[in-house]
Amino acid sequence: MPELPEVELVRRHIKAMCLKRRIDSLEVLDSAILDGVSIEQMHGELDGHEFTRAERHGKQLFLKIGKGWMTVHLGMTGNLTCMGAEHIPPRFTRLHVHFLDGGGLIYEDMRKFGSIGLARTLSSFIEERGLGPDALNIDEDEFIDRVSRHKRNIKTVLLDQSVLAGVGNLYSDEILFQCKIHPLALSSSLSTMQMQCLHREMQRILKKSIQVMTDFDRLPKDYMLKNRRPSAHCPNDHGPWQTIKINGRTTYLCPRCQRF
């Protein structure tokens, strides 16, 4: 489910379907997904209230409830869905917010790497977690400043949520592919033009993915994400992909387009 574009679509879905609906009750089916809060605290903040705003920072979601916020991170397999009264909660539902109108907000998460909690303000939460600027908001100067500060391979830096928030394993591969930069290149050694490319392509790719509703089949034909499979080929030179492990994460690249 979750990198910035996927989370943004969830935010829009919640905003369109879930705001201004009075909450009747809350059902926590697996308290393991609660992060730093008790079931009682969740009841105290949610019961009888309504969500009034849906915001996002990187991969993190925030639903305004009363004077505070419910925080949601989708982890690896999490999803939030608004449902009508007639719908049956899916198999891996971990939390179910029941609205007075009969419908509900469902958090499902097979692997339970996601989490739900409470926060007073967005800025306090972002600071506590050490999250960098949102990948779609960060401007070129700050991007270059923060990325070039590190002496690590560029893929690791793009994935570091404290440098900037929102880019995950799949999109980092796409960004580097579009800029023809090898994922193991040292971040501090990149030229200004390469840094500008990374910033520009990052925002272009994330926006494009949101635009096609993260349906990779609808992405332009020169995108890696359309063809990110062992059996597929680089759309530029039609040669095979190379896969390597960086920080334990599978990394796709074209060794001919992305020279080390």
Partner DNA sequence: TTTCATGTTCAGCA
Partner DNA sequence: GTGCTGAACATGAA
Q: Give the bridge partners for 28, in sequence order.
A: 95
CB 230 to DNA: min, Å: 9
Beta strands in the chain (DSSP E): 23-28, 51-57, 60-65, 68-73, 78-83, 93-99, 104-109, 115-119, 242-246, 249-253
Is residue 156 within the footprint of DNA (CB under 7 A)?
A: yes
Nearer to DNA, 23 or 170 (CB): 170
Q: Is the dihedral of CA 98, 101, 103, 106 positive or negative?
A: negative
Name which of residues 161 to 180 contact DNA (CB under 7 A): 161, 168-170
Which listed residue (43, 96, 129, 180) binds DNA by CB under 7 A? Answer: 129
Q: Give the bridge partners for 134, in sequence order.
A: 165
Nearer to DNA, 113 or 255 (CB): 113
3-state SS assignment for residue 120: coil
- The answer to whether 198 and 221 have CB atoms below 8 angstroms apart is no
* 244 alpha carbon, distance to own chain's centre: 23
CB 64 to DNA: min, Å: 21
How crowded is the C-beta side of 64, counted as CA atoms within 13 Å?
Answer: 11
Site string for DNA, 10-39 (x = CB under 7 A): ----------------------x-------
Q: Give the bridge partners for 244, in sequence order.
A: 251
Is residue 73 within the footprint of DNA (CB under 7 A)?
A: yes
Is residue 227 within the footprint of DNA (CB under 7 A)?
A: no
Tell me, by CB under 7 A, how many residues bind DNA: 31
Distance CA 177, CA 257 (A): 8
Nearer to DNA, 110 or 122 (CB): 110
Distance set, CA 127 to CA 42, 141, 178 (Å)? 22, 21, 31
Looking at 40-48, 71-79, 95-103, 140-148, which segment touches DNA (CB under 7 A)?
71-79
CB 110 to DNA: min, Å: 5
Distance CA 195, CA 211 (A): 24
Which listed residue (246, 253, 254, 257) binds DNA by CB under 7 A? Answer: 246
Nearer to DNA, 25 or 169 (CB): 169
Site string for DNA, 75-114 (x = CB under 7 A): xx---------------------------------xxxx-
Q: Residue numbers of the site for DNA (CB under 7 A)? A: 1-3, 6, 32, 58-59, 73, 75-76, 110-113, 129, 150-153, 156, 159, 161, 168-170, 245-250
